[in-house]
Structure 1
Amino acid sequence: MSIYASRPWLARYRSGTPSDITPEHDSLLAAFEASVQRNPTAPAIRYFDGTLTYEELDRRSRALAAGLVARGFAPGDRLALYLQNNPAFVVGLLAAWRAGGSAVMVNPMNKHRELTYLLQDSGASALLCLDELYEAVAADVLAKEETAVRTVVTCSALDDQGRNDPRLFPEPIRRRLDGPVDLVALVEEHAGADPGRPLPKADELAMLTYTSGTTGNPKGAMSSHGNVAFNAQTYRDWIGLGADDVILGVAPLFHITGLIGHIGAALLVGCPLVLAHRFEPNVVMDAIREHRPTFTVGSITVFISLSGVEGSTREDWASFRAVYSGGAPIAPAVTEQFEAKTGLYIHNIYGLTETNSPSHAVPLGSRAPVDPTSGALSVGVPTFNTVVRILAEDGSEAPVGEVGELATSGPQVVAGYWNRPEATAESLPGGELRTGDVGFMDEQGWFYIVDRKKDMINAAGYKVWPREVEDVLYGHPAVKEVAVVGVPDPYRGETVKAYVSVKPGASVTEAELIEFAKAQMAAYKYPRSIEFLDELPKTVTGKILRRELRERAKEGSG
């Protein structure tokens, strides 16, 4: 038996923690229904000064599902969710499943080009979006009639609360829109109705969550209901979550961390999920003080921001019993500084979109070791039912302590990518995920990520594919050649930098190019700095050498 198959990391598990778990439900929808039955009047979502109970969330999601079905939503159809961290997101997710379909995750920062691509690629027939996003982006996209969307439902971030915090809503206006149906009106129209569709099976599609992976165009990772239910239970059992807990939703809900670590965990255990529209440090700190959460998981930049809120004290954090962070590398010094300020140790967690959030985590109560050679903080050990191998360049298993690509197998790994059989075969041979992340396992079973095989840029937990940024910059008439790389950043972990050569006789400034990209891309994607070169370094065949540019940036010459 190989060293990895023997799972030496099990010795690191908390006392009493099983090596494997059996999912109690085939789907998160079934788990949610069980939570409704256990305690229908328990709070499900706390949103500023508003509260939705499990019973209300159940009724609302059934009504929306019935409304979608009445408008032609058929089994197997897809509902795109273009929202912030609003209660409507959870309602829409449950409704898509109740209607016999699946959900498509759309980043609320996506602009016209990005939204068009996701709607076209997913083939979504319905869209649930914020009114402000409909006005700013979706209306123009849908007017071109280049997607399969037939039904559009809009909602307001002001729904389900009355505080209208001016830090988030300086002009609290409920928009009146021509064309889409309002979510509140649709739910009222179908109050008490039920679409009558059966509960989904474990192997049926639950959602498409887009990731760039190994190619420039984002690919829809196909999360099954079994994937989602399994890793929601992983959070529950790894951390010991129960109905008395309160989960703080700091990760974006469209992101796999928010989907599983916030929505999935909360609905499974039947506890409240605290939402605050979008991340604004002072607003979230006030939510912590008001709702006293006990658990959260988010990117390290979230915790850096929150610990730096003026006037925050250890007492503000006293309700938490577990804090986890993933999505971007964490420096050991950051965890030490956070603990000194709050009294809380940040447990590392690691996973990908394709693993439905965690494949590795630091056991609760343990401290992640630091690799003495690289200084890297361990990302933890593989979670329940999971085997992770380190593969050498030739595909053989690397010995303990040697660096190679992480390859993950387990019930949380997706079956493939939406309509991408070649990408599926490449990244998931035999169902084992080739992560593209490079690291090693030590003799104790701890795993470390030391580099990435791909050119993907990881900016504060958001993944950016350089080619997409390059394609936008190439659209500027002055640009001759462009290469985009990730460069170290003390706050975001990594940030986006572009190297550009300009066409003869043309002229453009750094500020102009940044604004050009910013207008067409989500905020986390556009380059934060641009350096102009007469010629970009290339191979003899003319391929631009990103590797040399990354080294140039590290050396500080750019």
Structure 2
Amino acid sequence: MWSQSDERPWLRHYPFQVSSSYEYPKMNVARLLLDSARDYPNREALDFLGRSYSYKELLRLCTKLANALKSQIGISKGERLAIMLPNCPQAVIAYYAGLMAGAVIVMTNPIYTERELRYQLADSGATTLIALDLLVPRALKAREGTSIKRIIVTSLSDGLPFPQNKLYPLKRRREHPGLKIKYKASEGILRWSAVMRQGKAEPICEEIESDRDLAMLQYTGGTTGQPKGVMLTHANLLANTKQISAWFHRLEQAKEKFLAALPLFHVFGLTVLLNLAIFKAGSMLLVPRFDPRMVLQTIRRRKPTVFPGAPTMYIALLNSPLAREGDFGSVRVCVSGAAPLPREVQERFEQQSGGRLIEGYGMTEASPVTHCNPVWGFRKSGTIGIPLPDTEARIVGPDSLDPLPLGEIGELAVRGPQVMAGYWNRPEETDAVLRDGWLRTGDLGSMDDDGFFSIMDRKKDIILAGGYNVYPREVEEALFEHPAVKEASVIGVPDDYRGETVKAYIVLKEGWQVSEMQLDRWCRDRLAAFKVPKRYEFRDSLPLTIIGKVLKRKLKEDA
């Protein structure tokens, strides 16, 4: 049995360029930007649909907004600032400016309904919201009963190059004919452009205690019950940024181009794209939303070298009729997260790009990354890889944090400098998952004798069919191997005889047809009989979160 006192088996698979332990910065996260702007002022920081921002310009805009937030609006240290923006320059500016001013950032999903938004604003106690103009009608309704005093409104045109910025209002009116854009000052509406004019481009960066002061309240997805505000300190975010940078040891300072198709308001995009790109003085190629056509155009125009994404993104690009041979040739590193990466998708993308697509693992409560397969070295497909530097991991039982024997399935627990401080205003729920620094993840998995970890499924997603445990990921992997299957998701549904039985939702590739009987034979050749789906449902698409994770809760509701 492996125990904490034994040599960690995964360390022998670390590349020699990666240390098992590092020193981590103790500072305001915003100093990542200050440092890169100091060292590489003329290096491109952002590209937004053709408009380029240097690090010097980005820093100037951030300091102007930070000074306006502090002096004009009166945001004080520790006050919560909510940001409801897609991937655009203003999202980057608002994030770092808020941190410079000492605010606690609350990233909000732009597609939230009025009810979802109101809950998050009320729970966080945010006093200021920075939102896209298209979202303001919803925000005005959602702020009722919350602490929101003002809404700073920006438009995509504020970040677009000429002449697109002049043409954008016409496009907006055509696509949203009933949208009211003019608001009264009495409604607590402030224009982005007016706020920026008020701010002074003077140095500003609030001093903080990085181990104690919060940088963010990042809300969990809410796939199980109400979303919870995860308290992430400046030290948490800086540690995870440094860990990932060390893991991607071949990335060069001030030379990489990061394709920013993952939403920056999601913790995966926030750390592996935004903070990492700024830390490496890279160029972020911002895409406002994941659209295969727009992403392919950006790839052809700017030739990105780093492309973090979700499996659904790689699947969509590989199957896009617009994709051409050589499109992905510039990409050297891809890290897939948010959902299991099918082996077939990994192999196809690597063949077309010549780069490396590896799977990692994380959760909001860990800033988020805890595990990753080595990018250049020994890896194991179908696993989440090995723990990052300074990260401990073990498989534990329900009543103890003692490690289980190798290969045995239990709950994954992790400990490291990236693990959250706790849940916002929820001490009992914090105590339920955090003990002695160990975070119970809620994911069931196992560790092999090389120290590679495999995730079977969330505890809540396991299917108990006739007394047998069925892990949906295992069934989904078998289905993904079928040449006709584009996407697959498996859930448990009630069954009078077995208690629960396996149901598969299938999206077929364009032009393909396959019957339930054919899929049944395919699965029986690859799975034990009790794991084979008893029901199939073919769909044009699966319900996804904006990060690309299948909403199994919605599938269960439909079932």
Instruction: Give the TM-score category using the shorter length.
Output: 0.7 to 0.9
- Partners of 2:507 and 2:435 lie apart in 1 by 36
CA positional deviation for 1:58? 1.2
CA positional deviation for 1:178? 3.0
- Partners of 1:78 and 1:486 lie apart in 2 by 44
Kept after mapping to 1: 8 A contact 2:231/2:424: yes
Kept after mapping to 1: 8 A contact 2:332/2:356: no
Output aligned runs, 1:133-532, within 5 Å.
133-135=135-137, 137-142=138-143, 144=144, 146-162=145-161, 164=164, 171-172=171-172, 175-179=181-185, 180-193=189-202, 197-198=206-207, 201-211=210-220, 216-240=225-249, 241=251, 242-366=253-377, 368-370=379-381, 377-395=382-400, 396-455=402-461, 488-490=504-506
The equivalent residue for 2:495 is none
- Partners of 2:60 and 2:306 lie apart in 1 by 27
Residue ranges of structure 1 left out of the alignment (5+ in a row)? 371-376, 460-465, 467-483, 493-516, 533-557
TM-score (norm 2): 0.78
Structure 2 vs 1, CA of residues 192 and 529 (structure 1 numbering), >3 Å: closer, same or farther?
Answer: closer
CA positional deviation for 1:454? 2.9
What letter is aligned with 2:435?
Answer: P
1:99-118 per-residue CA deviation (whole Å, 9 max, x = no partner) reads 11110011111010000000
Output aligned runs, 1:80-95, within 5 Å.
80-95=82-97
Kept after mapping to 1: 8 A contact 2:373/2:380: no
1:482-537 per-residue CA deviation (whole Å, 9 max, x = no partner) reads xx999654569xxxxxxxxxxxxxxxxxxxxxxxx99xxx99769766888xxxxx
CA positional deviation for 1:380? 0.5
CA positional deviation for 1:400? 0.9
Identity %: 33
- Partners of 2:25 and 2:146 lie apart in 1 by 38
The equivalent residue for 1:537 is none
Secondary structure of 2:362's counterpart equals strand
- Partners of 1:53 and 1:311 lie apart in 2 by 31
- Partners of 1:50 and 1:214 lie apart in 2 by 37
Kept after mapping to 2: 8 A contact 1:60/1:191: no
Structure 2 vs 1, CA of residues 193 and 24 (structure 1 numbering), >3 Å: closer, same or farther?
Answer: closer
Question: Considering only aligned residues, what root-mean-square deviation do their CA atoms show, in Å?
Answer: 3.1
- Partners of 1:487 and 1:56 lie apart in 2 by 53
- Partners of 2:92 and 2:322 lie apart in 1 by 32
1:73-93 per-residue CA deviation (whole Å, 9 max, x = no partner) reads 111101001111111111111
Structure 2 vs 1, CA of residues 176 and 292 (structure 1 numbering), >3 Å: closer, same or farther?
Answer: farther
The equivalent residue for 2:32 is 31
CA positional deviation for 1:212? 5.2
Residue ranges of structure 2 left out of the alignment (5+ in a row)? 174-179, 463-471, 477-490, 492-499, 509-542
Kept after mapping to 2: 8 A contact 1:14/1:364: no
CA positional deviation for 1:453? 1.1
> Which region of structure 1 is more displaced relative to structure 2, 340-349 or 211-220?
211-220
- Partners of 2:40 and 2:362 lie apart in 1 by 32
- Partners of 2:247 and 2:557 lie apart in 1 by 46
CA positional deviation for 1:328? 0.3
Secondary structure of 2:460's counterpart equals coil
- Partners of 2:501 and 2:135 lie apart in 1 by 30
CA positional deviation for 1:53? 1.4
The equivalent residue for 1:3 is 3
> Which region of structure 1 is more displaced relative to structure 2, 185-194 or 356-365?
185-194
TM-score (norm 1): 0.78
Kept after mapping to 1: 8 A contact 2:326/2:352: no
